[in-house]
Amino acid sequence: KMACSADGTRLVSIDTRFEARVWDAAGGRPIATFPVPVGGFYPENAGVAIGGGGRLVAFASGGPGRAAAAIRD
C-alpha cells in the first residue's frame, strides 16, 4: 500500500512486515521507518495516508474481531 502527500514531496508505504516508510519522492530515499500495529491483521486490509505537509502518517487495519488505527508525527 502507498499514499502520496498533497504537495507530492513525500510518499508513505506499508509492507507485509507491517513496517511503514516515509519516502522523499524526489530522491527516492526513505527518510523514516517505523512499525505499525500488528496482531491478527492482514496486510491486504491495511491502509495508509499522509498529510500535514508530509509530517503525519495514518494507518488503519482490521482482522477477525478487532481493528487498529495509529497516527504518527
The confidence score (pLDDT) of residue 40 equals 67
Q: Is residue 64's pLDDT more than 80?
A: no
The confidence score (pLDDT) of residue 3 equals 94
C-alpha cell at 44: 491486504
Long-range CB contacts for residues 17-21, cutoff 8 Å, separation at least 24: 18/43, 18/46, 20/48, 20/57, 20/59, 20/72
pTM tops 0.85: no
- The model's pLDDT over 5-41, given as tens digits with 9 standing for 90+, comes to 999 999 999 888 888 999 999 999 999 998 888 766 7
Residue scoring higher pLDDT (39 or 58): 58
Residue scoring higher pLDDT (10 or 46): 10
